[in-house]
Structure 1
Amino acid sequence: MQGPGKNDQDAILINKLLKERKNAKSKNTRNAAEKCEQELEQLRTGDSFDRLVAWYYENVCSGYGYLVRTPGGLRSRGGWITPMTLKSHLGGFEQPKYLAIRPAAWTNWAVFDIDEGSRYHPLSEDGEGIEPVLKALATIGLHAGLEFQSSTTGGIHVWFPLGCAVHTWALAVAIEGALAKSGLEIRNGVLEIRPNCKSYDSQFQAIRAPLTGEGNGLFVEDFGFSYEISVMKQRWTEAKERNHLAIPEKQMPARECSSNRRGQRAQTGALERAQARVNQGFTGRGQTNELKLACLQIARLVEGLESEEQIRSRVVELLITAPGFEEFCGHKKEIISGKYLSKSEVQRALRLIPGGYINTWKEEANSKRSKDAEKRAHEALEGSISEGKKFASMTDAFQHLRNKGAPAKSWWHKKKNERSLELLKTLIA
């Protein structure tokens, strides 16, 4: 099998694991590894959806054992999930369907699970919300998570792609230690972590794989929940550059680390990023899928095109006129002929609606957070006015109000809060 190219870092972990399984004592394990290797190579050289499934398999599906949903309920399956079985769960042959997976001995992801009734859910009335969890994980180097709605029940899975593969047990210990140090409650239905600190003779617990049906979608700024692997891949690639676990270097395999670090991208909104990405164009090989996604967003969400033909023509136009197309694009013929863009991709783009997170937990959580900040600001401001407070500078005023529970300085400078800022300025001596 042909291995990954010089700049293809995504496949290194799965290739390493398959190589180990091919040398296992068990004949069944060796045969399974051979089958996975063959199917993975088939997907890597297939159409655009197949290549996305291959990427997904390389980054997410490394562990032994998985769970599927049957008419009789959830059922455990032994062995390693094969790439073609994964394809069926991601909607390659019909609608996406339930799949839960486990990490292997080495992993390049972490995830935490918060149910709707948990004190750490963004909609919790009496609890702390999700922020304490995010702050605790940031202390060990996990800064960028991808938020998935776990299902239509409203639970949340936050996935952290890692810049380097790490030993799964070390990762589990680091996560549990960080959460415990912050006084957070790790318990089923409240806050669950994967990988978990398992007992000696058990497997790591399973977690639902992203984009496997029943409302499991990725929250994307500006237009809501996405069920596209291409969108997940783009966000995953961005996030892993910011997630580097702070554990001893000897526990990290250097050859799993990517040397292609681009740094944090500006968080200016999905549509602005899409426009900027297309304006930047092709700067190297292997960027066609990423640019295709950006072009689809522009055609549908920025320009508002409303037919398959219009979207297809516009995406082709944007791609072939993008800087670097002639120099770096490896799919010129397919793009010019229109074959690179599948019918299903265009149809899914038509279903994208700006503000598509309306009536979801995410919108409600943002609204709740905004109202809470406004309430705290007004209470602190009114209290200072009634006390007859005067301040020598705006800095002193902000600090005093913050001590009384008001939001940070940045809140006051938002345009929608300019009246509150003007009232605050009257307290400056």
Structure 2
Amino acid sequence: MSTYSNKSQCHDPFPSNLIGKRLCETFPYLWNAIISTNETTPKWQTVAKYPIRPRILWREWKDNSKLIGVRFDSQTSYALIDIDRNGQFHPYQNPELLTLIRAALETIGICRTVLIRSSWSEGLHLYIPLPHAVQTFGLAQAIKQCLEAQGLTIAQGQLEVFPNCKAYAVPGTYTEYNAHRLPLQPESGSCLLDDDYNPLSHDLGQFFQQWDIAAAGQDLSELMNAIAIARTNNRNRRKRHTTIVEDWLQDLRAEIQEGWTDYGQTNHLLKTIACHGVVFEGLKGDALGEYVEQTAVNLPGYEEWCQHRHEIRMRSTVWARSAENYYWALGSNPKRSGNAHSDEGEKVVPLNVLRSEDAQRRIKAVVSRLEQEGQFPSTATARAKLIAAEGISTRTLYNHLELWHPIHYQSGSCKTVQPETITAIFEADSEDPPKSLEPSEEKRFYTEGKNMKGRMDNSPVLLAQLVFGLESCGSEARIHIVKPLEKLNEVNDS
């Protein structure tokens, strides 16, 4: 029997009906439930303002004019596999594939399932009851990897797993698992099936009897081991497939996570959120605008620094529409070529150029702030650590050394001190004036090999020798130091 987690835990009373109480205990997560009128093609709506109470859940389940569904919390005591009637995995299309699915599940300790018809559309829900709750995301990964290992592709409208391997949640927000309809609602077409896929019963009590038998038959130790392996596989897969796209995703996430830290950042943050929504969430239209708004208002610093709270919805919509013109969902066909100066239509900048410009802007902003605060170190290592702490990757930093590195960057009080050029003018009795110093004789900094360490070609000792030697010439020569010699600063760079 599953219990309420932190978000779903409450003290609302259960229905007095024992079957109703069991329904609420089995499906306890009541936030963002979905509801629709009872029709062949439901028009699902999410109840987002508040969680449905257990007694209301039971009341809605009994109402034959309505359909209701729920989502998953961070822990769950069940899963289900949705097999679409017109998909290739349905027994009507291929009788052997359901057997293959069940055999695949046994390899991870899921030895018993409960099969029902989900609705009048004749799709199937294969329920996976467990004796107690496990980590939801781990279970989702284990089932997904288990099926894919047998060549069974997870795809919407074909074969879906609940809970799903949900997308990344921006800090300050919560990404919900996909919702599924509840089983065996009156007049919904949902029913228990026998081994030949014939209707067996519409009785919810009988459904829970089969549920308990299946839960008791699972090999939970094998399942927990499979969940651990699946989590490890997922981490290793992410490491193996680190690409430029992954770097971009990490940069976007880091910047969004930081939220507002000062005034004047609203447009940039909304653009960044919209880009993430289009490319990595595959959102568009009203859904994208809502994503931008909801993400923005939940970020750190929004209430303190955002000066556009009164019009945040309008601005979110504007940036959502703009992002759709510049970006496209990862894996889909590009909306435009990479030509930054096309003669046809809008002149747009390629994504790699936009990313480079955005990275440079962010580095400049961090450097400028550190300089103003007097916190900008003199060494490259210390600078890199401080800038990277602002959410900018080391790889990005070393693509733009001219913006921060002490050897390449000069600005304000933090520039590298160059030694003065010494110019000597000789006046001699001879008719031929002496030659001036050649450019190669000017005292300058040079770098040594790959270490990027500064080396002065002139030292105080050499300068002293030079001055002493010229003064010893007496009336035959005079030296005029055009600029006073200042104490040479030692360049210390790591």
TM-score (norm 1): 0.47
Which of the two has greater helix per residue?
1
Looking at both structures, which has the greater relative contact order when contacts are Cα pairs under 8 Å and sequence separation is at least 6?
1
Normalising by structure 2, what TM-score? 0.41
